[in-house]
Every structure is written in C-alpha cells, then in structure tokens.
Amino acid sequence: MAKLKLALYWASSCGGCEIAQLQIGDKILKLAEVADIVFWPVAIDVKYKDVEAMPEKSIDVCLFNGAVRTSEQEHMAKMLREKSKVMIAYGACAYGGGIPGLGNMFNRELIFERAYLETPSTDNKDKILPQTKYKVPEGELTLPEFYDTVKTLGQTVDVDYTIPGCPPEARTTWLALEALIEGKLPPKGTVISHNAKAVCDDCPRKRDVKKVKKFYRTFEIIPEPEICLLEQGLLCAGIATRGGCEAPCPQANMPCTGCYGPVDGVIDQGAHFLSAVSSVIDSNDPDEIQRIIDGIRDPVGTFYRYSLPDSLLRRARIK
Amino acid sequence: MNFEPRIVGFCCNWCSYRGADLAGTARMKCSPNVRIIRVMCSGRVEPTFVVKAFELGADGVLVLGCHPGDCHYSEGNYKTMRRIPLLKKMLSQMGIEKERVRLDWVSASEGDRFVSIVDDMTAKVRALGPFKNNSKEAKHG
C-alpha cells in the first residue's frame, strides 16, 4: 500500500498543537511507517510554493490547527483544502476560534492601538502601524491583511472532521490517526473524541446538590479535592463541554475551561454553559441574585473561552 | 423612514400569554411590534433562544412569566429570574444594550400591564435604533 501523505499546518495559534501532535510518543514511529509528512512548517523545510505545485487532492490528510485571522491564513486554508482529500480541524482554535477568537471582542483598529501604541513596553513615537504594503528602495514589502474578525476553519473552508482540545489530548489525537491509518473513518462532520457526553462523565469528583451563594475565581479558594468544583462555586465548564479528555483539569483541582467544545446537539456552547451556571444560583431574591452574578467578572471570557467565533453572535458589536 | 422595531416576546402559557389574550379580547390598544412565541413556562426560555433571536435579526427580546410565587410549575420563573440577569450581563459585554432584553411578570388578569410593558419596551427599542446583526457582518472578514 502506498504511504499516506500527511500535511500539518498552523494558522492563528500558539504552537501548543504541534507539541500535542508529538505527545503521541512512540506511536509517532508507527505513524512514520504508514505516512509521509509532505508539509509541516514547524519541522520540515517545505515552502508554500512547493505546496502550490502539488496536484489537487494529492495530500491524503491535512491537520490544520489555529483560527483564521489573516489573509495569509485564509489563503493557506483554501489552498490546503484544494490539495487535501480529508481536512481536519485540529484543536480548539481551528474548531471554535480558541483563545485568539476572543479577539472578536475588539476589531483591528482597537487591537492595533493596544498592541502597537498603548502597551507600556511599546516605544513607537511615530505611531507606526502595520501596513499591508510598504515601498523600500529594494522594492515593495508586503504583509498579510489582518482581519477585523477571527473565523474558525469551518467558516473558511469545508471541514471533514474535528479533533477538539486546547491542545488535544494525545489519546484523542491517536484515536483520530488510528482511524485514518486503518481507513475506518467516522461519518463526515464527526468531532472525534472518546466520549460524546460531557466532561462530568469523565470526572471522578462526587456530585450532589448544586447550590451556590458565591462564585469564586480560581485564586480565591483552595477547593476540596473530591467534591464537584461547580458545587464549590468555581465556574467549571465541564457541564457544558464534550468529554473524552479524561478530565485532567478537575483532577488537578482546576475547573474545566471548555476546550473540547460543546456536546453533540448544542449550537452555542457559551449560552449552554451560562444556562447551567445560572441554574445553580441559590437565591430567589433579585438583589441577592444580582450580587451573586456580579461575582462573575468576565462572562464572555468565561462562557465562550474557546468558542466565540463559532457562537451564534460570532463577535461583539463595536460602537 | 420610521424605524419599527421587531421584538420577539416569549410568553408563558399559564399567565403572560393569557394576559396578552385578555388584552386582545378586551380590545386594548397595543404596539404591534412584539411577535409572541408561546412557551409552556418562562423557565423554558434557554439563553440560546434569546441569542438566536438576535442572530436572526430581532431588535429586542421580551421574556414574560408568571409573578414570582405564581408559577404553574412552582419555581420555573425563579430559574428565569436567575438566568436572564446573567444573560444580560453577558450580552452587554457583547455590545448589546441592556434595554434590548427585558424580563417581566404578567399574570392572566393583567391585560393592561401586558400592554404597558409592550408599549414601553417598543418605545425604548425604537429609541435605540435597529440591532445591527453582527454575525452576518462577521461572515465577511
């Protein structure tokens, strides 16, 4: 059998997904037996023009991580889609927008202002902002265009499968790669994970009645190690997040932040999480309810931490 | 051109929807801007419903339930009472004005109260202007 041709690419991401891909450990040798990596900017020296020269659908599988924020990323997403038989959104950024997706609370102008003018460590007296074109004696220099809005991979090109996580757990990555190697692919559109139920299903903590009078931020309390974190007033997203990760965060006394995305059937993870959180508030008095809610400092950042671009509203309105 | 807001109104089957019905049968004058969706209980109104209404182009969302203590299902409206304020806080962070979402209580006998809430909400949303649908805008880069 001919070896599988594999391409890996990163767009608006942190590089953690590349580490996660290597976390499959010695299984990478098994992968090397059956697959050739034809494109992987982080590790091998293949240029964009080499990819451009590849025939259509000549790559068997493309693992694409990162959200789409710039024209370069959009171009590469479209090109890799054209060249690949199977396109996989790898990780929370490609899937739901991820942490870079929280940039949708702002627009280009506000982000540039903050990054290039306001930050205390910036020394930019002439107030120079990035330009897409700039003439120098040697010719014209170009930069990709920075979009106002971060998009997911699925909003940019047709995606066949998703491997969730920030970054995906090694077992999840291997579950997908194994299916690819054996040619036992699930139906198109599947979010590949060991557990289609919520993280709570993986979580060993004891669950009882959830009644919360005050929400805490993680640094404010040391939670009791065996009881459900949400019951202790920590905003644990496990209740609104797909499982399969084996709940490493709650087991390390940290609340789930929701990186595996919504469970099947939920179209808006943030609204779903919000609904669950409001149902544990233990009060019938409007003023007290308001006080309890005031303890949640950053609702959008909490409820949509990895999924703002993929939410129904997609971005904040900027006036 | 005059702006006529489109408001989605979720009314619970047992109190608010009957309050609206009473306003109608009593021929009370009422702004025609609220499109009523009958739900069994205001507690049925998931935050996703409200967000979805905005995504589909609503200018405001009105959620009406039984008065606290009067819920047909004992405590459905208390759940709404906890949910909507948190949703409003989240939506205001997203740039959606607080006046565009309103939670109130209307009993089956309060046709006049239904009318005054609808008129008041319509006036407030009309003053705010149309809700520009950011999700559609976001689809183009």
Amino acid at A231: E
Which chain A positions have a beta carbon within 8 Å of B134's beta carbon? 313-317
DSSP structure class, residue B12: E
Which pLDDT score, from 0 to 100, does residue B134 have?
A: 59
Helices A286-294 and B76-93, packing angle to 10 deg: 40
Which pLDDT score, from 0 to 100, does residue B2 have?
A: 83
Residue B119 in domain: yes
Domain count within chain B:
1
Helix (H, G, I), strand (E, B) or coil at A150: strand
DSSP alpha helix (H) spans, chain A: 16-22, 27-34, 48-53, 71-83, 92-96, 108-112, 170-182, 248-251, 269-279, 286-294, 299-303
Interface of A with B (CB under 8 A): 104-105, 147-149, 151, 155, 267-268, 270-272, 274-275, 277-279, 281, 283-284, 286, 289-290, 293, 296, 298-300, 303, 309, 311-319
Tokens 């059956």 belong to A34
- Given a contact cutoff of 8 angstroms between Cβ atoms, the answer to whether B39 and B15 are in contact is no
Smallest CA–CA distance from B97 into chain A, residue: A317
- Any idea what the CATH number is for the domain that residue B66 is in? 3.40.50
* φ, ψ for residue A122, nearest 5 deg: -90, 130
Residue B134 in domain: no
Q: Give A274 to chain B, closest Cα distance, Å.
A: 7
Residue B140 in domain: no
Which pLDDT score, from 0 to 100, does residue B136 have?
A: 53
Helix (H, G, I), strand (E, B) or coil at B43: helix
Mean pLDDT taken over chain B: 93
Please give the structure tokens belonging to residue A256: 């789930």
Average pLDDT of span B125-132: 92
Which chain B positions have a beta carbon within 8 Å of A312's beta carbon? 48, 51-52, 54-55, 135
Residue B133 in domain: no
- Given a contact cutoff of 8 angstroms between Cβ atoms, the answer to whether A112 and A119 are in contact is no
Domains along chain A with CATH numbers? 4-99+151-182 (3.40.50.700), 109-147 (no CATH), 199-303 (no CATH)
Within 10 angstroms of residue B40's Cβ, the number of other Cβ atoms is 13
The answer to whether the bond into B130 is cis (omega within 30° of 0) is no
Rounded Cα gap, residues A301 and A105, in angstroms: 9
Rounded Cα gap, residues B141 and B139, in angstroms: 6
Residue B94 in domain: yes
Residues facing residue A6 across a β-bridge: A37, A61
Binding-face residues of B in 89-128 toward A, CB within 8 A: 89-90, 93-96
Q: What is the DSSP string of A163-180?
A: E-SSSPPHHHHHHHHHHH
- What ipTM goes with this model? 0.92
Is the pLDDT at A157 greater than 90? The verdict is: yes
Residue A141's alpha-carbon distances to A75, A88, A120, A127, A138, in angstroms, are 18, 33, 28, 19, 9
Q: Give the tens place of pLDDT for each residue, A284-300.
A: 999 999 999 999 999 99
- Given a contact cutoff of 8 angstroms between Cβ atoms, the answer to whether A164 and A242 are in contact is yes
Is the pLDDT at B137 greater than 60? The verdict is: no
What is the share, in percent, of chain A residues with pLDDT greater than 90?
A: 95
DSSP structure class, residue A100: G
Give me the domain span that covers residue B110: 7-128
Whole-prediction pTM: 0.93
Q: Give the tens place of pLDDT for each residue, A26-52.
A: 998 999 899 999 999 999 999 999 999
Rounded Cα gap, residues A282 and B81, in angstroms: 11
Where residue A246 falls (left for φ over 0; alpha for ψ -120 to 50; beta otherwise) is left
CB-based contact, B56 to chain A, within 8 Å = no
